[in-house]
Amino acid sequence: MRKNSWTLCKAIEKLTCLESLNISVDYTSNNPLDLNHVTSPPLRLQRLYLIGPLEKFPNWIGRLENLKKLRFRGSKLNDIPLDFLRDLPNLKMLGINEGVYYGERLVFHVGGFKMLKPMYLDSLRYLKSIEIQPGALPFLEDLVIRRSPQLKQVPVGLHCLTRLACLKVVEMPEDFVGSISSNQDIVKHVKDIRVGYQTSKGHYIFKNFDVMPITCNQSNVCSNAASQSA
């Protein structure tokens, strides 16, 4: 795999005008891909999807000033150095998805991710806490948190996301859902709070919550693709 990683990285370097890149390897592979052999990344890249295990986080992503969409899945990382991504000037969508991160804590630091609008945190099985510091994610509008069984509380600092319009919680523990009700001062500015689950047919059922008081007043069905659109 190391030889293949080197060959792939050198091929990527030659694609200087590349705007979209999707790299996918087998989720179950015991030979993670090492993308840190890229020394001159394609700086025009706007969309990057990385699927499958990685040897370590590709630090060169932090140099992609034109990048608008970034999604990981199955990376099997013990650390996600968000500081490498926080200053990307055009990043508008971030997806940290199934099997990406094995750590227990995510921290979004002051002043980071200034253009991000939707963010997807999906199937982070070891994640226990999220902290959003004042001034981070200032334009975030949509936050999806899904299938993270160890996460029992709403993110610390959620009240700082003054532009957050939609909080979508999917197949999360009862403790997490209950923390929405018990921390109404934190979520009262969010106009659309939805708690949902997946049906046997692959659709999602969502119940819209009123914050004062929180009650279920409406339900609708969304397809899997719609609920996780890139």
Which pLDDT tens digit goes with each residue over 133-153? 999 999 999 999 999 999 999
- What does the pLDDT read at residue 79? 84
In this structure, the number of other CB atoms found within 10 A of the CB of residue 128 comes to 14
pLDDT band for position 227 (cuts 50, 70, 90): very low
* Residues forming beta bridges with residue 207, ordered by sequence position: 195, 219
- What does the pLDDT read at residue 2? 63
pTM of the full structure: 0.85
Has residue 30 got a pLDDT over 90?
A: no
Q: What is the mean pLDDT of residues 92-120?
A: 94
Q: What is the mean pLDDT of residues 158-186?
A: 92
Q: What are the C-alpha distances in Å from 220 to residues 64, 154, 194, 195, 217?
A: 38, 23, 10, 11, 11
- Is the domain defined by 21-30+47-227 classed in CATH 3.80.10? yes
Whether 61 and 43 have beta carbons less than 8 Å apart is answered as no
- Give the SS3 label for residue 15: coil
Report residue 173: phi and psi, to 5°: -60, 155
**pLDDT tens, position by position, 42-92:** 999 999 999 999 999 999 999 999 999 999 999 998 888 888 899 999 999
Q: How far apart are CA 65 and CA 74, in angstroms?
A: 24
- What does the pLDDT read at residue 83? 86
Q: How far apart are CA 17 and CA 149, in angstroms?
A: 41
Q: Which one has a higher pLDDT value, 224 or 45?
A: 45
